[in-house]
Amino acid sequence: MLDHAAIMALRTRDETSWTERDVMLYALGVGMGADPMDERELPFVIERGLKALPTFPIVPSFAGGPLLRIGIDPRYQLHGEQAITLHRPIPVRGSGFVEGRMLGAWDKGVGKGAVFTQEKTLYLTGDPAPLATIVTTAFGRAEGGFGGPGSGQPAPHPTPDRAPDRSVDVATAPSQALLYRHSGDFNPLHADPEAARAAGFPRPILHGLCTYAITARAVLAACCDHAPDRMRHHQARFSAPVFPGETITVDLWLDGDDVSFQARVKARDGIVVVRNGLSRLRPGTVR
């Protein structure tokens, strides 16, 4: 049986490192460089003038963390939300450590599941200032009734009640998940047709973190002139899976330096796959 106090007391520390190859492989895995003549995207996938995507810190901080120690049944676990806050520009090579703690564990009741949120903070070796903070929320469908609080979970960012100011179409490749998995997430649900069918899907689905990065790409392209240092925060809530090969339409609402967004797949009757998105940009960034 899960224990709320024990869950909230969890702390982790994991060593990490990355190289230029990891930065380029991640960018390719989320679809950058699909057009090798697009000189706006090339700096993310070739050595000359290499830049890290603002969502890249998810890769060196992916392994470990307190969520893995709770005991959530992986067969019934869903990725609910993802957020990253960038405190400084991300170097294309580095080493350091990741400190993890739990932010919350909410009990929805027996048969209704539970919600768990962890925070990971990435530090460079020898530097006491954080580089990035990554917050992940997971939904455990089988964990309801463990005795945790039933309220207090942060409310999602509201989507503006007006037509989007801009929309960006981002195509994914049929092999997108097979490439993205080499950034660290080898869950067979994203690669093995048999595993996908066992989970109730007709074929492997795209990693939620890949879809998440694609929404960040849309903001970079539409609002930041592809300059990653202009983004300081990016958060989203997952609402439906994406299948590799689909085109994702990202709708954007601009309000000063805040960009609200959602993502949908037009080919499946406009199903919304990402909701309640918010990017916070550096002052004066939006173009």
Question: Choosing from 107, 185, 207, 226, which is the catalytic residue?
Answer: 185
The token pair at 265 is 């797949």
- Residue identified by tokens 């998995």 is 181
Return phi, psi of residue 18, to 5°. Answer: -155, 160
Residue 14: closest CA among 124, 98, 136 = 98
165 is catalytic: no
Cα dist from 160 to 254, 258, 273, whole Å: 9, 12, 17
Give the Cα separation of 249 and 216 in Å (integer).
12
Return phi, psi of residue 70, to 5°. Answer: -75, -35
The token pair at 194 is 């048999």
- What is the DSSP code (8-state) at residue 205? -
192 is catalytic: no
Question: Choosing from 190, 207, 226, 234, which is the catalytic residue?
Answer: 190
Positions marked active-site:
185, 190
